[in-house]
Amino acid sequence: MSTILHHVGGIETGAADRTGPVYNPATGVVQHQVAFASKDEVDAAIATAAAALPGWRATGLVKRADVFFRLRHLLVERQDELAAIITSQHGKVLSDAKGEISRGIENVEFAAGLVHLLKGEHSEQVARGVDVHSVKQPVGVVGAITPFNFPAMVPLWMVSSAIACGNTVVLKPSEKDPSAAVFIAKLFEEAGLPAGVLNVVHGDKVAVDAILDSPVVRAVSFVGSTPIARSIYERASANGKRVQALGGAKNHMVVMPDADLDAAADAAVSAAYGSAGERCMAVSVLVAVGDETADALVAKVADRVASLTIGDGTDAASEMGPLITAEHRDKVASYVTGATAEGATVVVDGTAQHFDGDGFFVGVSLVDHVRPGMRVYDDEIFGPVLSVVRVPSYEEAVSLINANPYANGTALFTRDGGTARSFEFDIEVGMVGVNVPIPVPIGAYSFGGWRNSLFGDSHIYGPESIHFYTRSKVITTRWPDQTPSSVNLGFPSNH
């Protein structure tokens, strides 16, 4: 059985004294071991990144941009290979894996515009003979800690912007599906990125803590669950680092009585059960305004899920694959099996569906008459479970969402422009869709939520990432002229 090693300074390395299993979730079979880095190994990777920083920072912007143009070409050319890696270790179907790669490429394209993105400002003659200009400079060595559910897209979100800005990176991907990160690092180097600019270390809390505590690492980006995001933020910021830590979600999709209910049902099924619900932007709560709307939606969703094909992600017929681990599958199932005792109605019980073999499969579930206070509502389930909450009015739908501790994404389905505009204004959530169930912004905007879905003040990728991965420096200049100088101990004035 092969061992997946770290990728540091352009070479594979690792003592592999400690390892973890990498499963094929569709079969339940351990297909690899992955090396778990010690603190010393992480420190060595950080030192490698620090050594590469001066040279990469001094690299011309046009030459940096050329790396991203080449990388985009390589990602398109080799997307089938990368998608196969994702499916084999995560379990998502190949079409979903390719979609993930496509969204990652958007951020590579954005980073390729770095010559424009890194422009400063200039003010001429702020005082007689005095000019002022600002520049954006890299923060230094950056730590990137990424989740299992998007093993290619999220690394590309972080790494692309960080490297474009002139930083070097130590990337710690999820130990559950680590190979995509190594593949991407090698593609970067094939595209012309110098060895040591992007380094990949694998592992558990030991590796994470080494990144958070290192005085050499100046900024940390993280995506994961809310408890871990909060912990990452507190520890890294206490160590003087910039931190963007994106946490969990409980995304609501509001359906008004005037909405196209067939389109809404299609959207709810797609957004709730795609990638087995293992998305931080998955719709997990369907908020139906009025019982008539709710009854119709529940019937339409139940009808649609009856024909879903669940199976190995490599099978072209499969629409949904397995969950990432057996433990996670069992945890997801517990929300459904416990819902009835809480007073909810299990309309479709995915836990009762039988699957051959030892893969980590579970069927899709639909739970009606859900209310705040129930575990199935309060917790981020991160699986193929869609809850239905019934409310009598638009106002109560908004109040429900705004009271939730999570505020990552939300959506409204309606035909009424006035209602849509009110929703955009009233709702207190970071990303909003109108007749769009998963409102993930394109690469030219930034991604992130509010409240317990984000710790730190910067969203990920897009324009806010340029701000996060750079420091502004303001320079005031005066060159000798014919005006005689004199001593003046007064406060400097620009007049």
393 and 298: one domain?
yes
| pLDDT for position 15 | 77
Is residue 156 included in any domain, yes or no?
A: yes
- Catalytic residue, chosen from 193, 229, 232, 280, is 280
Is residue 448 included in any domain, yes or no?
A: no
Q: Is 288 in contact with 255 (CB distance < 8 Å)? A: yes
Give me the domain span that covers residue 341: 251-434
Q: Is 322 in contact with 25 (CB distance < 8 Å)? A: yes
pTM above 0.85, yes or no: yes
Q: Is 74 in contact with 108 (CB distance < 8 Å)? A: no
366 and 239: one domain?
no
- Euclidean distance between the first and final Cα of the chain, in Å? 73
| pLDDT for position 457 | 87
223 and 256: one domain?
no
| pLDDT for position 16 | 73
Is residue 480 included in any domain, yes or no?
A: no
Is residue 354 included in any domain, yes or no?
A: yes
169 and 278: one domain?
no
Q: Within 10 A of 90 (CB to CB), how many other CB atoms are there?
A: 31
377 and 429: one domain?
yes
If we measure between CA atoms, which residue out of 26, 27, 32, 35 comes closest to residue 5? Answer: 35
404 and 262: one domain?
yes
20 and 99: one domain?
yes
227 and 282: one domain?
no
307 and 222: one domain?
no
Residues of the chain with pLDDT under 70: 482-483, 485, 492-495
> What's the structural domain count of the chain?
2
Is residue 484 included in any domain, yes or no?
A: no
161 and 280: one domain?
no
How far is residue 447's CA from residue 455's CA, in Å, rounded to a whole number?
A: 13
Q: What is the CATH number of the domain that holds 99?
A: 3.40.605.10
If we measure between CA atoms, which residue out of 347, 391, 377 comes closest to residue 256? Answer: 391
Is residue 494 included in any domain, yes or no?
A: no
354 and 216: one domain?
no
267 and 340: one domain?
yes
Both structure tokens of 309: 């094909």
Both structure tokens of 191: 């595209």
Angle between helices 417-426 and 394-403 (to 10 degrees): 30
Is residue 459 included in any domain, yes or no?
A: yes
Both structure tokens of 401: 């969402």
Q: Compute the CA torsion angle 324, 329, 330, 335 (nearest 10 deg).
A: 130
Residue listed under structure tokens 């090396």: 35
Is residue 428 included in any domain, yes or no?
A: yes
Q: What is the CATH number of the domain that holds 342?
A: 3.40.309.10
Q: Known catalytic residue: 165?
A: no
